[in-house]
């Protein structure tokens, strides 16, 4: 293989990393920085803090909604994107959860929520990475997982901004319910994938 061919391979690899969809996913990680500053009131007046938080949360949510369709529309679905997408989601979620844990009334609920998500998603990322390395097809995000993200965003919004306690607790219950549902479907999906790998090895 000559130098020209090697450079072409390197350029192709970079193109698979810096796709439009992956850049959109990476942007969510960077948006966590101004989100921390807004939640903490740093650089923002108290009167404008809620609006800034709301705008950043909407931008984060839209980037999560759009990166998948953009990858498929541009034919740039990559294994890296399948990993970066959920990782970026969880980084932004953890930022808000750490802020909400400090709440005097409901902080303990978010501490439990934080432990559940951290434990499950560490397992998901490790397992998904393993499956990507051992099967040709891409690891697909599940609809139930996307619904869980949506309900989590709604829950965080009603806790960050003034809302009646019954709405806050109701949104928490809905989000935890979809956490359980999505966890079940991820488990079933992984079970099928591992069976496919074992069948291929025994063939």
Residue pointed to by tokens 């479907």 = 185
pLDDT band at 167; cut points 50, 70, 90: very high
In a domain, 203, yes or no: no
pLDDT of residue 146: 81
pTM exceeding 0.85 = no
User: What does the mean pLDDT of the chain come to?
Assistant: 78
Residue 201 has pLDDT above 90, yes or no: no
**Which residues form the domain of 77?**
3-198
Q: Which residue has the tokens 């994107």?
A: 81
User: Is pLDDT at 8 greater than 60 in this prediction?
Assistant: no
The tally of domains found in the chain comes to: 1
Q: Is the dihedral of CA 160, 108, 153, 173 positive or negative?
A: negative
Measured CA to CA, the distance from residue 165 to residue 129 in angstroms comes to 39
| Structure confidence by residue, pLDDT tens digits, 92-137 | 888 888 888 987 788 899 999 999 988 988 888 788 777 777 665 5
Please indicate, yes or no, if residue 123 is contained in any of the structural domains: yes
Model pLDDT for residues 18-74, shown as the tens digit of each residue: 677 788 888 888 888 888 888 776 666 666 777 888 888 888 888 877 777 777 787
Residue 120 domain-assigned (yes or no)? yes
CA–CA distance, 74 with 77 (Å, rounded to integer): 8
Q: What is the CA radius of gyration of the chain?
A: 19
Structural domain contains residue 134: yes
pLDDT reported for residue 12: 47
SS3 per-residue string spanning 36-52: HHHHHCCCCCHHHHHHH
């Amino acid at each position: 293989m000559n130098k020209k061919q090697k450079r072409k391979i390197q350029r192709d690899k970079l193109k698979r990393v810096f796709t439009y969809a992956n850049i959109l996913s990476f942007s969510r990680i960077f948006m966590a920085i101004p989100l921390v500053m807004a939640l903490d009131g740093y650089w923002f007046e108290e009167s404008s803090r809620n609006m800034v938080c709301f705008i950043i949360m909407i931008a984060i949510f839209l980037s999560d909604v759009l990166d998948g369709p953009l990858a498929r529309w541009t034919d740039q679905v990559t294994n890296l994107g399948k990993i970066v997408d959920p990782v970026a989601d969880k980084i932004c979620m953890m930022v808000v959860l750490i802020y909400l844990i400090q709440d005097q009334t409901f902080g303990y609920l978010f501490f439990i929520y934080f432990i559940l998500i951290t434990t499950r998603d560490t397992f998901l990322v490790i397992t998904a990475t393993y499956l990507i390395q051992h099967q040709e097809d891409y690891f697909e995000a599940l609809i139930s997982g996307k619904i869980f993200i949506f309900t989590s965003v709604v829950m965080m919004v009603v806790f960050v901004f003034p809302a009646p306690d019954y709405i806050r607790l109701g949104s928490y219950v809905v989000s935890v319910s979809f956490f359980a549902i999505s966890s079940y479907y991820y488990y079933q999906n992984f079970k099928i994938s591992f069976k496919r790998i074992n069948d291929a090895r025994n063939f």
